[in-house]
Amino acid sequence: MTNEDQFQVATYKKMPIAAERGEGVWIYTNDGERYLDLYGGHAVAGTGHCHPHVVNALREQAGELLFYSNLVYSSARARAAEKLVSIAPRNLTKAFFCNSGTEANENAMRMARMSTGREKVITFSGGFHGRTADAISATFLGKYREIGKPNVPGHLEAEFGNIDSVRELADDTVAAIMLEPIQSMAGVRMAQSDFYRALRTLCDERGIVLIYDEVQTGVGRTGEWFFAGSATGGGVVPDVVTLAKALGSGVPVAACLVTDAISSHIKESDLGTTFGGGMLAMAAVTATLEAIENDRMLANVKTVEAHLRQGLREVEQVVAVHGLGFLLGIEFNDKAAPVFQALLEQKIITGTSSNPKVLRLLPPLCLEKEHVDLFVDALTRICTC
Ligand SMILES: Cc1ncc(COP(=O)(O)O)c(C=O)c1O
């Protein structure tokens, strides 16, 4: 730990844990301790740590070809693109692969500008979209826009859940409306399904591209493959969905899923990135989606979410449970930070949020009821101390 502090830029607030090995929902340290990971390495370990199907696929691909660029065809890339499109809502028919969530959002906004010939983008207070120039300028949360100065012009802020605040801004200079359909970092905030439907209608009426940033909500986290098209989201399908985090089970990979209408505006060399669509990343995508399917993880998320909500009802200090599936915000009647700390001392990793009263859970999709019971028991002990 000391060496890392000495040689790495001190930009991360770290837990006093050195993670050396992982298996399913568990993280092991070198001194033989194990931690229940309800944070999933920041929503990345969707299939759990080191899922054998993913690890085997990576081993095999590593022995064949690690990387070649998009200037050649690849069966690994073809398989990943086809698999991803096959699980997406029907009108999202094409994928563009890149490397991180912020890059996916930058490319989504770029495609919206190219396909509309307009420049402005509306996003929402409380939304987080990444740290590169355009994405951080679209992030109206805490100090992010400040750190990202000078900001990219043309970013407008609306109020999440308030369609009138969007209508006021959505004139014919607006290319896109982009949102985290469930605002994770803001404390796991979800709108009513009417709001998503009204956004879809507004975009259709005014020729605006609707982008869902599903970097956290995508790839099964809500108990559906995507928030897009889900009943909770009013069945709304946006024009672009961005994905990252859990898409490669820990191998860096991201994607934009787009409609034919959007992709028809993109010409040769309009978009690109060296590493996007590399073979190792593509093998990770295919194996991740297969593992979720083979192990019926979507159904598991729904069953175990219900069990968790039931358990949390017994904890007096919990005033609300926000979110969906395995993107949950537990709201306490007081500050969540001491609870986070006490859970860590009991070897359970959770997450905080920008809402001081909300503790975030982003566990692997293979979390089981027995793990939930360990968590609820620990929480009960902490809360009755
Ligand atoms: C909703 C959302 N969008 C975008 C990003 C940025 O992703 P990345 O860190 O991979 O650039 C994040 C990261 O936390 C996120 O939560």
Region 76-82: what's the mean pLDDT?
Answer: 98
Average pLDDT, integer, range 199-221: 98
pLDDT score of 2 more than 90: no
Give residue-wise pLDDT tens across range 35-64: 999 999 999 999 999 999 999 999 999 999
Does the bond joining 153 to the residue before it have cis omega, within 30 degrees of 0? no
Q: What is the mean pLDDT of the chain?
A: 97
- Strand ranges inside the chain, DSSP E: 19-23, 26-29, 34-37, 94-98, 120-124, 155-158, 174-179, 182-183, 189-190, 209-213, 240-243, 254-258, 318-324, 327-332, 348-349, 358-361
- Look at residue 103 in the predicted model and tell me its pLDDT: 98
More confident residue, 3 or 55: 55
State the distance from the centre of ligand 1 to the C-alpha of 385, rounded, in angstroms. 36
pLDDT at position 208: 98
42 vs 385, more confident: 42
Percent of the chain past pLDDT 90, that is, above it, reads: 97
By the 8 A CB rule, do 340 and 171 touch? no
Confidence check: pLDDT of 289 > 90 = yes
pLDDT of residue 1 exceeding 70, the answer is: no
Contacts 24+ apart (CB under 8 A), 23-30: 23/48, 23/49, 23/50, 24/48, 24/49, 24/51, 24/364, 24/366, 25/49, 25/363, 25/364, 25/366, 25/367, 25/368, 25/371, 27/349
Ligand 1: which residue has its CA nearest to atom 8?
A: 101
Is the confidence at residue 384, as pLDDT, over 90? no
Residue 264 sits at the vertex; the CA angle it makes with 259 and 270, to the nearest 5 degrees, is 110
* Residue 197 confidence (pLDDT): 98
Amino acid 3: pLDDT: 84
Query: In whole angstroms, what is the distance from residue 68 CA to residue 308 CA?
Result: 44
Task: Output the residue whose Cα is nearest ligand 1's atom 3.
Answer: 129
Q: Give one word for 143, left, alpha or beta, with left for phi > 0 and alpha for psi -120 to 50.
A: alpha
Residue 102, ligand 1, Cβ within 6 A: yes
Any ligand 1 atom below 6 A from CB of 100: yes
- Ligand 1 binding pocket includes 184 (Cβ within 6 Å): yes
Q: How far is the CA of 214 from the centre of ligand 1 (A)?
A: 9
CB of 128 within 6 A of ligand 1: the answer is yes
Instruction: Taking residues 283-291, report their average pLDDT.
Output: 98
CA distance 124 to 190: 12
Where would I find the beta strands (DSSP E) of 100-248? 120-124, 155-158, 174-179, 182-183, 189-190, 209-213, 240-243
Tens digit of pLDDT for each residue in 224-280?
A: 999 999 999 999 999 999 999 999 999 999 999 999 999 999 999 999 999 999 999
For the residues 92-118, what does the mean pLDDT come to?
98
**Predicted pLDDT at 126:** 98
Taking residues 189-204, report their average pLDDT.
Answer: 98
Atom 14 of ligand 1, nearest CA residue: 130
Average pLDDT over residues 209-216: 98
Tens of pLDDT, residues 110-160: 999 999 999 999 999 999 999 999 999 999 999 999 999 999 999 999 999
pLDDT at 4 (0 to 100): 87
Task: Kindly list the structural domains of the chain, giving each domain's residue range(s) and its CATH number in brackets, ordered by start.
Answer: 2-51+296-384 (3.90.1150.10), 53-294 (3.40.640.10)
By alpha-carbon position, which residue is closest to atom 7 of ligand 1?
Answer: 101
Find the mean pLDDT for residues 299-311. 98
